[in-house]
Structure 1
Amino acid sequence: MVRFSNNLIGLLNLLTLLLSIPVIVGGVWLSKQGSTECERWLEKPVIALGVFLLLVSIAGLVGACCRVSWLLWLYLLVMFLLIVLLFVFTIFAFVVTNKGAGKVVSNKGYKEYRLGDYSNWLQKRVNNTKTWNRIKSCLQGGDLCYDFHHQFLNYTVLQFSKQELSALQSGCCKPAEDCQFIYNNSTNWTKGTAAYNNTDCDAWSNDPNILCFNCQSCKAGLLQNLKTDWKKVAVVNIIVLVFLIIVYSIGCCAFRNNRSENWKY
């Protein structure tokens, strides 16, 4: 029974070590295959995560199975810091995604999104020109509005108005309802001659490379997507936190066993 906690920690870290290998391979593959800035940006965090898992797993595996107390102590320290960071991030994710939601448009199947409805912290991130240009290139490179255009190309204005669009489609691929543009097709609209109160109306272009990617509504659509994803991540984080706390507790037992055996010798 004394050795059970050591063996269990060793087994868990062996599984984590095996998991880190495909993560590292995936990061290297992205670096070779990535054709857009989004994919090239993603490779570094993926490789860093894989290397981190590999090193921590080796420390826990050797520390528990070979009775190397200082390695197991280092492993427990890293685990403790990871638990704290994950807890802080989970709270932060809930706080910054608490505000913001789509506005229902009368007689329309889709919603529209306003940047001012979201948290100030998120607004500052997307209002940074350098950051937004990087995000915009990712959205354009991902064929978001190209697919949108072909999906609704032959729809009448009535058919189009009944569609349930995603936040990004609504914010980036079509003009705001305030503009009152004349519908030609899903990504082609005729502007009126009146002055617009909504700055997104002037930012709109029928150029498929521009559309509403420079609009505030596009930034809001991205934040709505981000809010949805972060909510899901936060729930997963809670589950991971419970698992890490259990592993940390078993690790503490293994560390105590190591110290007890060292005292005996």
Structure 2
Amino acid sequence: MTGAAVDKGLGWRAVQAFTVLVYIFMFAPILVVVVLSFNDSQFGGFPMTGLSFRWYHKLMDNEPVLRAFQTSLWVALVTAVVCSVLGILGALALVRYDFPGKEWVNTILVAPALVPETVLGVGLLLLMRWAEQPRTLWLLVLGHIMLALPYVVLVVQARLIGIKRIYEEAAMSLGANRFHTFREITLPLLMPAIVASLLLVFTISFDNITASMFWRPSGVETMPTQILSMLKVSISPEINALGTLMIVVTVGLPLLGGWLARYLARSVR
């Protein structure tokens, strides 16, 4: 074996070892939160005194947490539905039609995904104060729609570009109008992207904290802001249980969306 080959092998092993360390650094805190959520001790730390679900049971009796969950669930559902409808219409217009200012419209739709959430949060808050508009739950929903809409447009656009227009033209040549062509041909082919973007947007809204801190009405908490307010008081084991549930939602839904998108993509072939 030559010296160059030995050096290349050592370099590749060093890259692999460094990659493993990076993944450990990223996922170790998540693993610690999940493990400590089952700790029987009222002190959230090691060594563990036993395994128990007591903090999950206690969490279910926590009224502020339940109210925050209902708020986050409602906001995320409305955001996901509205973004899906607007995103599908926007993607269809940008991919299938030409009109004046098309590039500007595309830039405006995608721009919120390129701007830091803190900048958007402060900007919209200043705009509301300039307009003397109090913070309401509906304004919080509108803010989440603004943040999440670009992802629907991008995902649906990517899927729509891969759908050949010959299918739609064939349907219209057989007598179908544009609405029936969309319902019977385009929509089923778009369904994998729609499902994936729907779950992605739900997760983005449900897990949002940076912008929600600026836009939520006084006295209203979402799940992330509720966790933050609980951390300001003390580090209770309930926070570990709540964090574990948030991890399940924010990680599980995108994985579910990816699996459903692949399954639907195979079924429509």
Q: TM-score band (shorter)?
A: under 0.3
Q: TM-score by structure 1 length? A: 0.25
**Which structure shows the bigger proportion of residues in helix conformation?**
2
TM-score (normalised: structure 2):
0.25
Mark the structure with the bigger radius of gyration.
Answer: 1
The answer to which structure has the higher strand fraction is 1
